[in-house]
Structure 1
Amino acid sequence: MSTASTSARDRLILALDVPSQAQALALGGRVAGHVGMLKVGLELFVAEGPAVVRSLREAYPELEIFLDLKLHDIPNTMRGAIRSVRSLGVRFLTVHAGSGVEHLRACVEEAGDELGILAVTVLTSQDAQACVEAGHTRAPAELVVRRAECAREAGCAGIVCSGQELPGVVETAPSLLRVVPGIRPAGADAGDQRRVMTPARAIGDGATHLVVGRPIHRATDPAAAADAIVAEIASVL
């Protein structure tokens, strides 16, 4: 996916944070043509399994699927899981970046050319205190940049980070896709996210793709909510 040719709509990823395939398919139908990609996360995948991915691909072939499982295990187990994911035909898969370059490189090798590995740097629900509690001696921004370096060296397609770390990541790994969750339009509730940012600010600071969930799927008109975010993205491209 070339960022130079990526439209504003293609940069918007809807997180299908719903508990059932029926709800996912219904929500996909409401936003098809208004977003560029659908993200299947742990709640939906654990509830419905690989079948939900196949159903979404069949129902909405124009939309790519981003499987957000944040896998983290020994390399041999990761290779097996990634082989299974490849059979689903998804565009991106997330893995945690905390195990280092060789671990990430094994993931990239197993993924091949059709499946892009996105390395999750630091969760957007974590702040500096949470990092300390987890035993880290570096601040979130330092951890993100270091893990972006590992992702670049391993050949990952991109990383996942909060918008607040974008300047350091753009400088460190300009060739990587920069997928940013924790996006909240001005005035929206931050919920359980700690390091949030508006769509325009994130794109302006270097995000290539934005993940948005609740501000769209909880809206009275999800398509209109998506369109408003796409317009905001387009205003800074």
Structure 2
Amino acid sequence: MIVETLGDAVSWYKIGYQLAYAGGLPLVTELANAGKRVFLDLKLLDIPNTVAKGVDSALALGASMLTIHAYPHAMRAAVDAAKGSELSLLGVTVLTSLDDADLKAAGYAHGVSDLVRMRAEQARDIGMGGIVSAAHEAAPMRALIGSEMAIVAPGIRPAGAPAGDQKRVSTPADALGSGASHLVVARPIVAAGNPRQAAAAILDEMAAALASRA
């Protein structure tokens, strides 16, 4: 298991659709009980009652972060359900695999930049714990939502790594420099020949980037 391979090099883990649908949800509790923190990336979107019940289930599992598609009705339901807990709710603005053409094809009137901004403002006003957006959007979003909310940046690729199906990618150092607070790094680690070494290299890059800002 990748958790055993990485050992104490990693303290945060993301569990998304692929693992959840393969029976991996109990791993949330197992990791939490082992002192790890879990980013449960299920991107909830449904009627308010169903979203609220999903948040209740995430709380029971012991997740530290949970993603909600940044539709106002879903975010409001999630915030109400998580009230009084330490669960950080993240509004997913626009998936990093999408660009303006993709949004147009899906029927959206806004391009990526405008939709990210609108959804970030709504997440801030509704009381979400943070947002998920591409790293290069972090700087304007940080100015918009303030210093307290998390900005979680997916699509992180070390220099020279293939982008895969991501269209809006960034290096770890650039993402932190832009104002992201949390980085999502999966394939560059799990697909590496030596995942622990790959994780350590990324963490070193992050530490150097943070030190240069101090």
Which residue of 2 is the match for residue 230 of structure 1?
A: 203
CA distance in 2, matches of 1:92, 1:64: 8
Letter of the 1:71 partner, please give it.
Answer: L
CA distance in 2, matches of 1:78, 1:45: 17
Which residue of 2 is the match for residue 111 of structure 1?
A: 82
**Structure 2 unmatched runs, 5+:** none
What per-residue deviation string (whole Å, max 9, x for no partner) do you get for residues 93-136 of structure 1?
10100x22x43122112013221111100000001110111112
Which residue of 1 is the match for residue 29 of structure 2?
A: 54
What per-residue deviation string (whole Å, max 9, x for no partner) do you get for residues 158-181 of structure 1?
110011211220111022100000
SS at match of 2:166: coil
Contact map agreement 1:157 1:177 (CA 8 A) in 2: yes
Task: Report deviation, 1:86.
Answer: 1.1
CA distance in 1, matches of 2:45, 2:174: 30
Contact map agreement 2:75 2:123 (CA 8 A) in 1: yes
Which residue of 2 is the match for residue 18 of structure 1?
A: none
Note the 1:20-99 alignment, pairs <5 A.
Answer: 26-58=1-33, 61-97=34-70, 99=71
Contact map agreement 1:158 1:178 (CA 8 A) in 2: yes
CA distance in 1, matches of 2:7, 2:105: 41
Q: Which 4+ residue blocks in structure 1 deviate beyond 4 angstroms?
A: none
CA distance in 2, matches of 1:118, 1:153: 13
Task: Report deviation, 1:65.
Answer: 0.8
Letter of the 1:109 partner, please give it.
Answer: D
Match of 1:138 among 110, 115, 119: 110
Letter of the 1:30 partner, please give it.
Answer: T
Letter of the 2:44 partner, please give it.
Answer: L
Q: Name the TM-score, length of structure 1 as normaliser.
A: 0.84
Which residue of 1 is the match for residue 93 of structure 2?
A: 121
Note the 1:140-219 alignment, pairs <5 A.
Answer: 140-174=112-146, 175-219=148-192
Q: Name the TM-score, length of structure 2 as normaliser.
A: 0.93
Contact map agreement 2:31 2:37 (CA 8 A) in 1: no
Highest RCO, 1 vs 2 (Cα 8 Å, sep ≥ 6): 1
Task: Report deviation, 1:54.
Answer: 2.5
What per-residue deviation string (whole Å, max 9, x for no partner) do you get for residues 193-226 of structure 1?
0100000000000010100011001111111111
CA distance in 1, matches of 2:81, 2:206: 34
Letter of the 2:180 partner, please give it.
Answer: A
CA distance in 1, matches of 2:51, 2:198: 36
**Structure 1 unmatched runs, 5+:** 1-25
Letter of the 1:33 partner, please give it.
Answer: D
CA distance in 2, matches of 1:209, 1:103: 22
Task: Report deviation, 1:49.
Answer: 4.8
Which residue of 2 is the match for residue 19 of structure 1?
A: none
SS at match of 1:67: strand
Deviating more after overlay: 69-78 vs 107-116: 107-116
CA distance in 2, matches of 1:50, 1:186: 32
CA RMSD in angstroms comes to 1.3
Letter of the 2:40 partner, please give it.
Answer: L
What per-residue deviation string (whole Å, max 9, x for no partner) do you get for residues 4-59 of structure 1?
xxxxxxxxxxxxxxxxxxxxxx101122322230000001001105323233334x
SS at match of 1:78: helix
SS at match of 2:8: coil
- What's the % identity of the aligned pairs? 44
